[in-house]
Structure 1
Amino acid sequence: IRIASGSLGQGMSVAIGAAQAKKLNKDHSIVYTLHGDGELQEGQNWEAIMYAPHNKVDNLIASIDYNGQQIDGPTEKVLSLENLQAKFEAFGWHVIESDGNDMESIVKALHYAKTLTGKGKPILNLMSTQMGAGVDFMMGSHKWHGVAPNDEQLAAALAQLHSTLKDY
């Protein structure tokens, strides 16, 4: 991990710059980047999202946690993102979808995404998620965005998650 850029929208630009530098240096490795859907409300992202396909930055796999929540509430109420798949495709990205609450789905999507690199387009893994999935008092609520549980809440959350992961 080279950078944790926070919610200012700089991460996409940095990742695209790193991927383009690798291509220019004849380095065939892939750059992976992870974003929250709420940070896409920052304009700098859209400049970068347009830049990448125009410059054939095709060694980049971006993943977006598409849960419709951000620190101030649902993205639909703060600033609607509309159809992210259609937007990225319109800008020239190859978009795949996965269930971001299912590790098997994520891994499968990322393996597939790797097969798409080197074909002239950046790749987006649009991961549909539910914030707080697996923890009954956290699911679907933006109130837990950036808030740590107390000791009792942590114990309850871990117990619930352990019961859902017992098959792994």
Structure 2
Amino acid sequence: HEHLPGIRVASGSLGQGLSVALGVAQAKKLDKDDHLVYILMGDGELQEGQVWEAAMYAAHFGVDNLIATVDYNGQQIDGPTTEVMDLKNLKAKWEAFGWEVIETKKGNDLSSVLEGLEKAKSLTGKGKPVMNLLYTEMGYGVDFMVGTHKWHGSPPSDEQLADALGQLEETLGDY
């Protein structure tokens, strides 16, 4: 926690993060604290039932100081989400659950990510939680990692790491 201020829970694939974020967001409302609560989830995580229970709860109780972002890259540790358990139309699902939904189409572009978060912030406080679908490409900028789940839970060798960092330096430049 000392190296990542503000990070309270790393819940991962169990799908518990949204429930925790809801608890924090509601506590802030009760404390008259106007700060926003942010949560980042992976698209594979959305296959957990607890996420959808939390989604219903957030909309029903108007938890409108919450911005959830889904890293929507279509990959998870066991393969493409379409093969493991297809998520279908996530925008329609979140809207059907009563959320305000935005889409950030260039999720590997930092300026687009920041624009998306600013747009999401502008939608808070209006009675609905906000979902930001962030379309990304896993392994972006590294030719042997891009578009595959293979590297999701596997570290590169020292040689592969040096190669990847060199490619990222060329690809990302000023970031």
TM-score, with normalisation over the residues of structure 2?
0.94
- The equivalent of 1:2 in structure 2 is 8
SS across alignment from 2:12:
coil
Unaligned runs of 5+ in 2: 1-6
* Cα distance, 1:20 vs structure 2: 1.0
Counterpart Cα distance in 1 of 2:108 and 2:172: 12
Deviations 1:59-98 (A, max 9, x none): 0000000011001101111100000000000111111111
- The equivalent of 2:56 in structure 1 is 50
Corresponding residue to 1:33 among 26, 39, 47 = 39
- The equivalent of 2:3 in structure 1 is none
Counterpart Cα distance in 2 of 1:165 and 1:78: 31
Sequence identity of aligned pairs in percent?
A: 69
Are residues 1:121 and 2:123 paired?
no
Q: CA RMSD in A?
A: 0.8
> What is the total number of aligned residue pairs between the two structures?
168
For residue 22 of structure 1, what is the amino acid of its counterpart?
A: K
Are residues 1:109 and 2:116 paired?
yes
* Cα distance, 1:100 vs structure 2: 1.4
TM-score, with normalisation over the residues of structure 1?
0.98
* Cα distance, 1:146 vs structure 2: 1.2
Counterpart Cα distance in 1 of 2:66 and 2:139: 28
Unaligned runs of 5+ in 1: none
- The equivalent of 1:11 in structure 2 is 17
Counterpart Cα distance in 1 of 2:173 and 2:20: 38
For residue 75 of structure 1, what is the amino acid of its counterpart?
A: T
Counterpart Cα distance in 2 of 1:166 and 1:7: 32
Corresponding residue to 1:147 among 154, 159, 163 = 154
